Structure 1
Amino acid sequence: MMKNKIIKTNPLFYFFIVLIFTFTQFSLPCHAAELSEPNILGKHYEIFRDSSKKITIEDLLSGTYDNSFVTSKENYLFFWHTKDTIWLRLDTDEILKDKQESYWLEVTDKLDSIDMYLVKEDGTYSVQKRGISNIDDQNIHYRSNLFQIQDPSVQEIYIKLDGELPLNSISYLFTTDSFINKIIEYKYLTGIFYGFLSALLIYNLFLFFSLKDKAYFYYVLYMFSFILYQATLNSLDIELVRELLPKWYFIKSSAISGNILLLFMILFCKEFLELKKYVPRFHNFGNVLLWITILSLIASFIIPDVMITNNFTTIFAVVVFIFLWLSGIFVLLKGQKMARFYMVGWTVLLGSIIVQALAFLSLIPFHPVIFEEVPAIAAIFESIFLSLALGDKINIIKKEHQEMQQTLNETLEHKVKERTHELERAKIELEKLANTDRLTQIPNRVRLDDVLEEAFEHAQYHEAPFSIILLDIDYFKEVNDEFGHQVGDLVLTNVAEILQNTIREQDTVGRWGGEEFLVICPQTTLDDALKLSEKLRQQLENHQFPVVQRNTSSFGVTSYLDGDTRNTLLSRCDKALYQAKERGRNCVEILIDDANVSSSL
């Protein structure tokens, strides 16, 4: 019941989350419209690339390289991994509207080293050093590189970009008031975004403990690694844990967090899509990608060249995403409906990652939206749809289990019926074995007692005629003595067969004991029983027995009289048989009552 409740409330939970997020997104522009718009500095820069890496600020101030600066045509500068030192120059008269105002210049990119030189009218300058190499020099704990401009005598600004990380410049100029408002807006949006992802993580962790499904566990790890990767991409690691981790980690953090994300992403998708069951080849290829990811993660720590690890991780991520997207397609084509929501979420996220990769590789124009708004929106949609996919999978599995249970019940019911029939057949067979003489295969004395009881009761209550015939094989002991018991057994089986084939349909014949046989004749008068006995006697007399050739039998016949019991009836029939033997055997004797005896042939 707990599982059913969890799955049913899942879509409702996400509906309210999306509703709150949508509301806040629509309400933000109204708040942001009141803020002073920052000045995007990209097109205000003049750019100079120092391939020698030896030129100093003094060299630039000497005017020797003035003609080497090229005016920028882009709002956002992107140089990716380069061995050059990048120099940027700004004219304060162009960007500072009021030099008496205090300004903040923000460079949002994660950089190894970024130095700002504030050059005054007299040629002197001051330096502010930022970046990972100078992480302790920035007093404000913030994700971006912040530079303060508050000296009205500053005429030019030079910015030097250098180091192992990609050299980019997404930079803005704020007044102090607008910068404070910008931080408030940033904290607000960041809180919503990471709060939403954390809520999904905690919720699915609860589902894992409730359902014990490994897919939820891998999804929680995937969500955690995605939060880590996105925080690294937005330089939140520098803002939050700058004093806890070594500087080299921040330089390599993108490749490290990216590989961790790929690792848990592959594990989750393999488990959720059940590739081993539905698409074994993709499962095997997924294992190969998994090992490559682990090796790439290890390489991110030990390879000193950050450009190699960053480039490989970026290209490899695109390969992994395409593979996992195709995995979903093939599982869906196999008829597994659980891949429906997976494909929607994965398609959205795959699109955003491919866009990021293309921007990293300079195949499309570089823009901060690609690394902030696009992945944020894609992550939210992907997280929602993957969680819905997990719920959908549980519902599908539950339905399949119900169908399997129903099939199992039907199969079990069918087997129970079959077993019941088998038991009934076995019971009939056992009863037959218990009531059949093993040698002659005709009813034994146990069965004859039952039939005799039924016929006796019927004659008593319905006043119907009822007769019995008792016969004995003549000189049977001599047959056994002279020819052996095997020949005697053949005589017994021949006699049983003759009797079985000669009696009427309503009659019952059985072995009474030894060489004696009893014929029970319901609805039969004494005269009819006499005629039947004579017929049987003649059949036996004329039969050619194995080895002994000829053998006869003696018959005693009687009928039921009022006041008879089973014992008196059988006793009278036995006396009639005794009379037949006394009269020379091979004849039929009838005994009407204890006082009147008449004989036949």
Structure 2
Amino acid sequence: MLKNISIKLKEVNFIALTGIIIISILLLTNFVKVLKYSYFELIDADKYINLSNNVEYFIPNDNQYTEINQIADNSAIKFEKNNSKNIYFPENVQKVWLKLKLQDKQASTDNIMYIDCEFIENIQFYMPTTDGKYVKEKPNEYFIFPYINLPENIDFNRDIYINSTWDSNVFNLLLAKDSNFYIIQNLLACFYIGNLGVLLGMLIMNMILFFSSKDKKYLFHSLFTGSLLSLLYCLSGMQKLILGFNSNNRLIALGAMAASTWVLFIYSYLDIKNNMPVLNKFFKLSILFLVLSLYISEIIPDGFTYNILYLHMIIVGLYILISIYSYFKFGMGSIYYLVGIFILFTGFIIYILGSYGLLEWNIFAFSICYPAASIETLLFTIGIIKQIKHEKEVNNKLQLEVITDKLTNIYNRRYFEETVVNKILQLEKEKSLVSMLVLDIDHFKKVNDTYGHSAGDMVLSETAMIIKQCLRKEDILVRWGGEEFVAVLPFTDSKESTTIAETIRLSIENHRFKFVNKITVSIGIAEKDVVEDFHSWFRRADNALYNAKENGRNTVCVCYTNEIKNNS
């Protein structure tokens, strides 16, 4: 049963690793295509034009200047020029007016103006028309980025005005031909769906591995992958497309959930409870904070959620330092895990710094966290598989050491009593033949007394090796104690056992031992009767060995069932 489970688990691990390699290749190919058709074309002025540094802005006080007729062509209002490549304002800005003027060569009837941010809401465009009016346009949100089609009768001699309720988001105002806009939106959608699909695949794969191996590391990694999937689903704008809403507060809540499940995974993966018990209280407090922030982020003001985000980043950073320290100090975890965490953390740091205006906001900044998350889950899964495989190898090695005789490298008496006896009972249930050989080295005490215990140890080791070579694959050999060995021969009667025993006896007799030269063995044989218990069977084999010794040693004797009956 255990062997079958082990084989199935190895098959699952092989399939998992193969799937990971294929997904990695597809993911990398997709990302290169997105970069080729989006980022590099985005900076091509003939196809994509960034209007952000042509924008002027005005920040009104409270509820002043809420209508376009209060703003347009009002010489009393002083607009300031945006000198940055992106459009970004601090958290305390609640409302802002933007204006810009397009040149005739920059636009035509098939051009689209869009904003590269999924979280911009309550935004209106006021487009000047040739009849002297302003047409209010609400962005179309059926794509990832909100956009408007420029009206056919747009007046290029007047300013375009944009009114937005600010939510501390950075964005670019871009102009593109409709065909190019649809290409970039479709590619981004495929890119997001592809990465979310990778996370979903890793989630399913980790759950399969958990149910196969019952190892909690896979379970906690599944929880983390699921929460990361939810976070990126919200971040990508898919939630807005499917459910019709997006919010920064929900994003913070999902970030708290991802951080919580990641900390739980680290706690299990690095076995902090046993390896670093001094961190147990810190772990409990950090989990408590992350879980509380998961709930309160939905009800507190937006400004405060960013303070929570800072604390999340500090906690995550501390656990990354703990992971690095535990790997290099104690060898816990794996290099796959460290590389994965570094890639994931770097991807989200670039996204966060870009969203705060500290880095240039472009397609690389807002899309890098998706492949970072996918690569991280791939590497995490590989790391967990390899770590669990290593742990099993170590445990198997330790178990083998417990049941192996160190001197002769064959099984010991403990293995016989814990495992071989059960195998004998199984053979008995199947009504299969089974025989036992009990072997003893003749005059072994004289070897120790004459040549020393080192020579005696060498004799024991070489004798075990010779016996093993003479036995078949299905036969089981153990060192019973001292100079005595026991061999169990499944599916073998006393006649065939005698042939095997004679082969062993002659092989040892003809072997030249170092220092000692000649050694002989006496062997007792007993075929198990279906009605006798193990102890009676062993006693018959031991009696046969005694008879072999009495008959001058270096002989093979068989004790049949009727001989015991006659003696009794």
Give the structure-1-normalised TM-score.
0.61
Return the offset for 1:350.
2.1
CA RMSD of aligned residues (A): 2.9
- Residues 314-334 of structure 1: per-residue CA shift (max 9 Å, x gap): 212221221221221232245
How far apart, in 1, do the equivalents of 2:194 and 2:416 lie?
Answer: 62
Q: Secondary structure at the match of 1:174?
A: strand
Picking from 382, 389, 393, the partner of 2:387 is 393
Contact 1:87–1:160 (CA under 8 A) maintained in structure 2: yes
Q: Secondary structure at the match of 2:74?
A: coil
How far apart, in 2, do the equivalents of 1:92 and 1:326 lie?
Answer: 50
- Structure 2 CA distance for partners of 1:95 and 1:260, relative to 1, 3 Å: farther
Picking from 369, 374, 378, the partner of 2:372 is 378
| Structure 1 match to 2:396 | 402
How far apart, in 2, do the equivalents of 1:146 and 1:168 lie?
Answer: 16
Q: What pairs with 1:235-384 in structure 2 (closer than 5 Å)?
A: 235-242=237-244, 250-303=247-300, 305-309=301-305, 311-362=306-357, 364-369=358-363, 371-384=365-378
Return the offset for 1:391.
0.5
In structure 2, runs of 5+ residues without a counterpart are 1-6, 406-410, 418-568
| Structure 1 match to 2:160 | 157
| Structure 1 match to 2:120 | 111
Higher relative contact order (CA 8 A, sep 6+): 2
Q: What pairs with 1:192-207 in structure 2 (closer than 5 Å)?
A: 192-207=194-209
How far apart, in 2, do the equivalents of 1:317 and 1:93 lie?
Answer: 45
Return the offset for 1:185.
1.9
How far apart, in 1, do the equivalents of 2:211 and 2:416 lie?
Answer: 41
**Pair member with larger Rg:** 1
Contact 2:87–2:170 (CA under 8 A) maintained in structure 1: yes
How far apart, in 1, do the equivalents of 2:377 and 2:361 lie?
Answer: 24
Contact 2:170–2:361 (CA under 8 A) maintained in structure 1: no
Return the offset for 1:386.
0.8
Return the offset for 1:289.
0.6
Letter in 1 for 2:237: S
Return the offset for 1:209.
1.8
Letter in 1 for 2:302: V
| Structure 2 match to 1:479 | none
- 1:59 counterpart = 2:34: no
How far apart, in 1, do the equivalents of 2:28 and 2:93 lie?
Answer: 44
Return the offset for 1:308.
0.3
Q: Secondary structure at the match of 1:81?
A: coil
Q: Between the two proteins, what is the percent identity of the paired residues?
A: 17
Return the offset for 1:71.
2.0
- 1:50 counterpart = 2:85: no
How far apart, in 2, do the equivalents of 1:322 and 1:408 lie?
Answer: 42
- 1:127 counterpart = 2:136: yes
How far apart, in 2, do the equivalents of 1:416 and 1:189 lie?
Answer: 56
Q: Which moved more, 1:35-44 or 1:268-277?
A: 35-44
Q: Secondary structure at the match of 2:138?
A: strand
Q: Secondary structure at the match of 1:92?
A: coil
- Residues 351-395 of structure 1: per-residue CA shift (max 9 Å, x gap): 233333444455x23413464232123213211211111111211
Contact 1:42–1:76 (CA under 8 A) maintained in structure 2: yes
Picking from 76, 92, 108, the partner of 1:82 is 92
| Structure 1 match to 2:148 | 147
Letter in 2 for 1:61: A
- Residues 389-420 of structure 1: per-residue CA shift (max 9 Å, x gap): 111121111112112211321489376899xx
How far apart, in 1, do the equivalents of 2:416 and 2:33 lie?
Answer: 68
Contact 2:55–2:98 (CA under 8 A) maintained in structure 1: yes
Return the offset for 1:65.
3.9
How far apart, in 2, do the equivalents of 1:182 and 1:361 lie?
Answer: 24
Give the structure-2-normalised TM-score.
0.65
- Structure 2 CA distance for partners of 1:251 and 1:332, relative to 1, 3 Å: closer
How far apart, in 2, do the equivalents of 1:158 and 1:34 lie?
Answer: 27
Letter in 2 for 1:308: F
Q: How many residues align?
A: 400
- Structure 2 CA distance for partners of 1:65 and 1:175, relative to 1, 3 Å: farther
- Residues 261-298 of structure 1: per-residue CA shift (max 9 Å, x gap): 11111111111111111111223312211000011111
